[in-house]
Amino acid sequence: MIILSVDFNQIGRDAEAPEVKQMTENFRRELGESAVGTRLFVGADRIDYTKGIPERLMAFDLLLKRHPELLTKVTLIQLAAPSRTHVKEYRDLNDALDDMVDEINWRHQTEDWYPVHFLRAHHGYHAVLAAYRMADVLMVTSLHDGMNLVAKEFIASRTDGDGVIVLSNYTGCARELDDALLVNPFDLDQLADVLYEAYRMPDEDRRQRMARLRGKVGNHSVFDWAAQIFGETYKCLKLESPPT
């Protein structure tokens, strides 16, 4: 199997660049005092029905209903890039997401805190890296997907060795990244339970998992992926060995 990957080392360098530090400060100003000192659950997706954003929001709502002690202690930040807004079904999805966010915030907010920040914009590369670095938990809850490189980008960006991934079973990378917390995004009860597990995960366990994930992605970068493709091409052409 030829597994698509990312430029692990370059993303790691970029994640420590001054531009990312500046974007982190910009995010913190945008989020305001509400998110200070809370555990950050982050999603970064196009607004697309395959990405499982409604399911993510419903599971987070369920988490807060089941564990009211988490009120003011957790915040969901969703980077949401508008997509295909000329298509009615996608506009309807946007409207439905707005309604869900408003309802969740109305239900759970306090005077100084509200649980969901929905940041609808086309965020640039350094902004996405800043969100990855801020995240305590990355949520990839696709209902149907290809490889999904968001999880691998997140892993590559975490040169600090920290962070947890909640990862849909319906992504191509789920079999490879088995130290993520794997979940069926259609099962909201399970998804809420896994979000709680991510919140409660001990520091040592979290760092051990991330170390193994970084080892896997780092040992199979986009360059290894390209080399595999060329190698298989040579085999198909029945060449005895690649040219030097």
Task: Provide the pLDDT for residue 61.
Answer: 99
Domain containing residue 49: CATH number: 3.40.50.2000
Q: How does residue 1 score in pLDDT terms, banded at 50, 70 and 90?
A: low
Under DSSP, is residue 183 helix (H, G, I), strand (E, B) or coil? strand
Residue pLDDT, tens place only, 135-193: 999 999 999 988 889 999 999 999 999 999 999 999 999 999 999 999 999 999 999 99
Predicted structure pTM score: 0.90
2 located within any domain: no
Residue pLDDT, tens place only, 24-41: 999 999 998 888 899 999
pLDDT tens, position by position, 53-101:
999 999 999 999 999 999 999 999 999 999 888 889 999 999 999 999 9
Q: Is residue 4 pLDDT above 60, yes or no?
A: no
The answer to whether residue 162 sits within a structural domain is yes
Note the pLDDT of residue 239.
58
Mean pLDDT in residue range 232-242? 62
Q: Residue 242: inside a domain, yes or no?
A: no
User: How many other β-carbons are positioned within 10 Å of the β-carbon of residue 111?
Assistant: 6
Assess if residue 41 is contained within a domain.
yes
| Pairwise CA distance, residues 95 & 182, whole Å | 29
Q: Name the residue range of residue 80's domain.
A: 8-236
Domain assignment present for 159: yes
C-alpha to C-alpha distance for 44 and 59, rounded to whole angstroms: 16
| pLDDT recorded at residue 240 | 58
Does residue 225 carry a pLDDT above 70? no
Q: Is residue 168 part of a domain?
A: yes
Write down the pLDDT at residue 243. 57
| Domain count of the fold of the chain | 1
Distance CA 28, CA 20 (A): 12
Residue 243 falls inside a structural domain:
no
Q: Residue 100 region, left (φ>0) first, then alpha (ψ -120 to 50), else beta?
A: alpha
CA 233 to chain centre: 33
